[in-house]
Amino acid sequence: MPDLPRIITVEDGVARIVWSADLPSRWQQEIAGVRSLVEEALRAHHRVEAKVDVEDADGQRLATWSGLRREGVERGRTGDRVVYARLADDPPLDQPGGFRALLNSFLPRKRAIGQMLIRDADATEPRVLLCQLTYKSDWDLPGGVVEVNESPRLAVTREIEEELGLTVPAGPLLLTDWLPPWGGWDDAVGLVFDGGVLPGSTLDRAVLEPREIRAVAFCTAAEVEARAADFTARRVAAALAALDGGPRYTESGR
């Protein structure tokens, strides 16, 4: 492959920018040239793309700062490649909307999980509401993943309505708990909101979503330890401590 980057047409209306293996090491010097190729390709194509090995950090920088948005990872037998592309009708990079869209395509995005700490108003010792989930063996606080562009506070209330049939408005944020990568999951941020205290009889009117929830129960500290994963038990303990002025930020409950 020649040293200089070049354009090839891969299908009708779609061009691809390709370069030699050593070019990305000079990515800062090559940005202007590759950007010019992108503009040239878009005069005759509706899409121009580049595919860069996932281990090629310099190649990814070259693709990004040449104006190509990161779209995702293409998995394959010979290795995974990051796909970058620009469409003919994308806003120009010299406009705020175009530049923001470029940044938004590659800046990190963390998964957010909204959960709620609900206590039993009738218990003589602290008991918190836990859910037995259908897709894992351990129990967890009620809540779930925050959808794209959704408020975490609204998300946890929505999840409880969908999965338990209960309307429990989220109170103040008690705890922010960072969750490191684990078991195939990327890292995430857990946000535990105060759900206040509810009568134990509240669970009598809960309507469980059968695809998600097997059972619900108010659990003592000992029951939390027995039923929940260790990091969940630590998070519950940290959230309870936060009610009394304890730390409001933890990492895996610590």
Band of pLDDT at residue 3, cut at 50, 70 and 90: low
Asked whether the predicted pLDDT for residue 35 surpasses 80, the reply is: yes
Is 5 exposed, middle or buried, given 0-12, 13-18 or 19+ CB atoms closer than 10 A?
Answer: buried
The pLDDT tens digits for 47-81 are: 999 999 999 999 999 999 999 999 999 999 999 99
pLDDT of residue 21: 80
Q: What is the mean pLDDT of residues 36-45?
A: 94
Percent of the chain with pLDDT over 70: 99
pLDDT band at 124 (very low <50, low <70, confident <90, very high): confident
Q: What is the mean pLDDT of the chain?
A: 94
Q: What is the pLDDT of residue 27?
A: 80
Please say if the pLDDT value at position 131 is more than 90.
yes
User: Are 76 and 52 a contacting pair, CB within 8 Å?
Assistant: no
Pure H helices in 9-107? 27-42, 57-65, 96-106
Mean of the pLDDT values across residues 142-162? 96
**In angstroms, rounded to a whole number, what is the distance separating the alpha carbons of residues 180 and 51?**
29
Q: Are 138 and 112 in contact (CB under 8 A)?
A: no
Q: Look up residue 54 and give its two tokens.
A: 């996932």
Beta bridge partners of 193: 116, 173
- Per the DSSP assignment, residues forming a β-bridge with 143 are 115
Neighbour count for residue 120 (Cβ, 10 Å)? 22
Domains of the chain, CATH where assigned:
6-106 (3.40.630.30), 111-251 (3.90.79.10)
In 46-137 the beta strands, taken as DSSP E runs, fall at 47-53, 69-74, 81-87, 111-120, 128-133
Residue 4 has pLDDT above 80, yes or no: no
Distance CA(158)–CA(149), nearest Å, equals 14
Read off the pLDDT of residues 238-252 as tens digits, 9 standing for 90 and up: 999 999 999 999 999
